[in-house]
Amino acid sequence: MKIVTVVGARPQFIKAAAGSRQIRKEHQEVLVHTGQHYDDNMSAVFFREMEIPKPKYNLNISGGSHAQMTAKMLVGIEDILIKEQPGAVLVYGDTNSTVAAALAAVKLHIPVFHVEAGNRLGSLNSPEEVNRIVTDHISTINFCATEDALQKLKGEGLGNRSYCVGNIMYDSFLHFSNKRWEQHNIIDFSGNKILIPAKYYFMTCHRQENTYSDAPLLEILKAMNSLELPTIYPVHPRNHDRAKRICENENYKNIILTQPVGYSDSVHLVQNAKKIVTDSGGLQCEAFYAGVQCVFILDYIVWPETMIGNRNQLAKPLCEDILAKLSVEQDVDLTYQPFGDGHAAEAICRIIRDWEEHK
């Protein structure tokens, strides 16, 4: 079967690394990159490093409002689907690329497979929540990363087309964490390779809630600068100027600002960090996989499975709250594995095979 897979953002590249590797063993895959993450360090380097097949199409759509971006993607993806005539469209996660591809497909009566379905924040204030709900309800098959997500979809009447397969990001994490970290490509804003400290904290911060103005990011950086170890902070291109200006104005010498890092470097930074502070849904899962404690800077829980034994704690973008959460130690139960066994891609292909036989 011909499957058109649509990706656009960095977390989707990580998932596609595992998904495409397995899908191409059984199907003809046509990969479409919307261009949502356009920076080389946010996009092209991931495809090279993770051995993701080169996209057949790149729409180069980035920037603008949610409506502008989604509308342009809808038009571009529809043209591709009419040309390719696939048997199904596969999407990952909850970005504008996800919902645009799902809408374009369903209006052309093409089945949609949604990987990482069923996650719920309980707030429509998050654009990703809107994308998830819409995509789940128009998909032919929903592949859930956790049992909790499956139960959410059953509660919405989608149980007959939803399956728990495990988190496909865990497939990729295991694949790359088992490789030796012989040399890194982590560079500062001037293009110079940094010296990785023997001990450090690892931080990322990209969500609009935490970067819309100086105030929240200043509080987060103030907390990290006050710690006993340096903090490595790969900065999203959108926040480059703000982060640099704050650190210079406040004379924050304990924070190492870097350009965005590749996935292998990110995995090993996670594995070797003392603790992690982030607002990334994917990175908090990777911290969990690695057994590294995480503080999540957001007002709502993204992965409830990680919120156990202080392994992941919510904090507000306030210096005192972040430091208070970092002072608490975690309790790790190695028998607790809510994200599956690292073979989600195989389970997805098995369910697609069964669907093909019985449709």
For 155-188, the pLDDT digits (tens) are: 999 999 999 999 999 999 999 888 777 667 899 9
* Same domain (yes/no): 157, 28: yes
* Same domain (yes/no): 14, 155: yes
Is position 93 within any domain?
yes
* Residue type (1 letter), 31: L
Q: What is the mean pLDDT of each run of 10 residues along the chain (359 residues)?
A: 94 92 96 78 68 89 89 97 98 96 98 97 88 98 97 98 97 88 83 93 92 94 98 92 96 96 91 96 94 94 93 97 97 93 97 93
* Same domain (yes/no): 35, 158: yes
* Same domain (yes/no): 224, 345: no
Is position 174 within any domain?
no
* Same domain (yes/no): 125, 271: no
Distance CA 265, CA 280 (A): 16
Phi/psi of residue 21, each to 5°?
-55, -40
* Same domain (yes/no): 127, 253: no
> Cα–Cα distances in Å, from 118 out to 129, 180, 213?
10, 34, 31
The beta strands (E) that lie in the chain are given as: 2-7, 28-33, 57-58, 88-92, 112-117, 141-144, 162-164, 201-203, 231-234, 255-258, 276-278, 294-297, 312-315
Q: Which token pair is 340?
A: 């599956």
> Cα–Cα distances in Å, from 99 out to 17, 91, 249, 324?
20, 8, 40, 38
Sign of CA dihedral 281, 287, 291, 292: negative
pTM flag (> 0.85): yes
* Same domain (yes/no): 76, 143: yes
> Cα–Cα distances in Å, from 166 out to 103, 143, 357?
25, 8, 23
* Same domain (yes/no): 13, 97: yes
Is position 220 within any domain?
yes
Is position 194 within any domain?
no
* Same domain (yes/no): 67, 207: no
Domain at 46, CATH number: 3.40.50.2000
- The pLDDT value recorded for residue 299 is 86
* Same domain (yes/no): 271, 320: yes
* Same domain (yes/no): 346, 264: no
Give me the catalytic one of 37, 114, 206, 236: 206
Is position 181 within any domain?
no
Is position 71 within any domain?
yes
Active-site residue 206, yes or no?
yes
**Considering the chain, what is the average pLDDT of its residues?**
93
* Same domain (yes/no): 66, 137: yes
Is position 189 within any domain?
no
Q: Give the structural domain span for 136.
A: 2-167+340-358
- The pLDDT value recorded for residue 39 is 58
- The pLDDT value recorded for residue 100 is 97
- The pLDDT value recorded for residue 40 is 56
The burial class, CB within 10 Å (0-12 / 13-18 / 19+), for 93 is buried
Is position 190 within any domain?
no
> What is the count of structural domains for the chain?
2
